[in-house]
Amino acid sequence: MESLQKGTILDITVEDLNTSCEGLARVDGMVLFVPGLLPGEKASVRITEVKKGYARGECLKISEKAHFRETPACPHYDLCGGCDFMHVKYDKAMELKAHIVAENLKRLGHVSWDEKKIKLIPAENKVHYRNKFLLPVRADKEGRFVCGAFRRGSREVIPIPHCLTQDLAARDVMNYIAEKAPQYGIKPFNEKTREGYLKGIGYRMEKRNKKMMLIFVITSEDTAPLQPLLDDLDFKFGHIDSIYANINPDPDHTGLSRKNIHISGKEFLDMYLGKAMYKVGPSTFFQVNSRQAELLFQHVLSLLPFERWGAVWDLYAGVGALSFFLASEFKRLYAVEIDPDSVEMAEKNKNRNFADNVTVIRGDLESLDVTQLEKPEVVVTDPPRTGLSEKLVTQLNKLRPTKIVLISCDSATLARDLDRLSEQYALKSMALADMFPMTRHIETVTLLQRREGEDDETRPLDQEIPGLS
């Protein structure tokens, strides 16, 4: 396409959103992505990048705004890469998320599911919902200490003291550390020289009692440089229940490593979902939005009104969040998880919840022979973004449980898995639980029912259990 060259300025009308929440327009048969624009909007844009088959642009001026556009409430929104949907009214953002899911299912899974039929489970708390947050710490160009979030599309860290997703009580602590750490001489990690000490600060927070776990990501096992700051925090805040150092010397790895040193307070944080209680460590997986996790798990339960007597498999179980939430509702459950720390925690959680009917199994679902387990009536899966392993799908197609409930945080891999299960299973319902309001992230719950024959369910499938919600 001749007219689309870097630097070209043109007027466009946005047709759709892509999965990264960028406006999508078509210009002379070529697809153009423009961050920040919404479907229906007309704008003047400058082309910034031309690739084979698509181009990217930046918005210069919006001449016709969408009626569902709104002014972002967060002062960091323009720069921070954390949120994507703050310029869209909430109900419309939910609709757009459902649209993205339905498009992915159609395009990648050959599954046609009307987006209007996706049940929406909106967020009860749209701000300050995160029970966990990890803020990177870096030296800026002048070597000064910066703590916050990565700038959109960049490795530069920018301060985000007014972040609207962090828990408020935890945010006070994060802001205090960001201010005091350089005063105590704590050296930030420098990505250029690959030197420095503090790489990140994080928290886990139980919102019911406001107790928190603090995590310092550092590059050596020496925790002495933190001590003056820790004494200060001890004096200033009463709700820090547990403090850890996470040792991450790898200059190319930004997140949490697997090596933790317990510095003070409780070894684990007590967290709650519904009536279940969980012990959680610094780097084990736990749902980031507790209230939405409760609503999601209640929805899973509502999909299984008649399956209380068979075995339920909770695959990719983490610390057993779903298993212990459901334990009193089913006869037997099997929680399968690969991570040894999570498995250890799941065993503790089993005792803590008196859940003798839950069997915790350490296993890799890429290779585990699940046919050795008690044959399931229901299988619930909650894999990482990569989706279900091929071996597991093959085994599920052979075992043919009555129902499979797929919890997924990536509708592209969900689409692939639905495709692989479609011969044996019919899609009966799909829900979208908004675990991450204001971001593009989407959590779906899909109910599959075994096809054909006398085993088929004819009862209503989306029926709520009285008294549960």
**Shortest Cβ 336–ligand SAM spacing (Å):** 6
Is residue 366 near ligand SAM by the rule CB under 6 A?
A: yes
Which residue among 317, 379, 388, 430 contacts ligand SAM (CB under 6 A)? 317
Distance CA 30, CA 1 (A): 7
Which residue among 285, 313, 324, 330 contacts ligand SAM (CB under 6 A)? 285
**Shortest Cβ 335–ligand SAM spacing (Å):** 9
CA angle (78, 197, 185) in 5-degree steps:
90
Binding pattern to ligand SAM, positions 332-351, x when CB under 6 A? ----xxxx--x---------
Distance CA 445, CA 122 (A): 13
**Number of residues counted as binding ligand SAM (CB under 6 A):** 19
Q: Which residues pair with 202 in a beta bridge?
A: 134, 215
Nearest to 226, CA basis, from 237, 217, 235, 239: 217
Which residue among 23, 202, 310, 318 contacts ligand SAM (CB under 6 A)? 318
Per DSSP, the three-state class of 10 is strand
Distance CA 334, CA 72 (A): 44
Per DSSP, the three-state class of 120 is strand
**Shortest Cβ 286–ligand SAM spacing (Å):** 6
Contacting range for ligand SAM; rule: CB under 6 A; set: 82-90, 127-135, 147-155, 317-325: 317-325
For 133, list phi and psi in degrees, rounded to 5. Answer: -155, 140
Distance CA 414, CA 410 (A): 6
Is residue 364 near ligand SAM by the rule CB under 6 A?
A: yes
Contacting range for ligand SAM; rule: CB under 6 A; set: 6-14, 117-125, 238-246, 376-384: 376-384
Binding pattern to ligand SAM, positions 113-152, x when CB under 6 A? ----------------------------------------
Is residue 316 near ligand SAM by the rule CB under 6 A?
A: yes
Distance CA 298, CA 444 (A): 13
For 251, list phi and psi in degrees, rounded to 5. Answer: -65, -20
Is residue 382 near ligand SAM by the rule CB under 6 A?
A: yes
Is residue 384 near ligand SAM by the rule CB under 6 A?
A: yes
CB 280 within 8 A of CB 302: no
Nearest to 443, CA basis, from 264, 242, 295, 332: 295
Q: What is the DSSP letter of 56?
A: E
**Shortest Cβ 291–ligand SAM spacing (Å):** 14
Name which of 50 and 433 has its Cβ closer to ligand SAM.
Answer: 433
**Shortest Cβ 382–ligand SAM spacing (Å):** 4
Q: Contact residues for ligand SAM (CB under 6 A)? A: 285-287, 316-318, 321-322, 336-339, 342, 364-366, 382-384
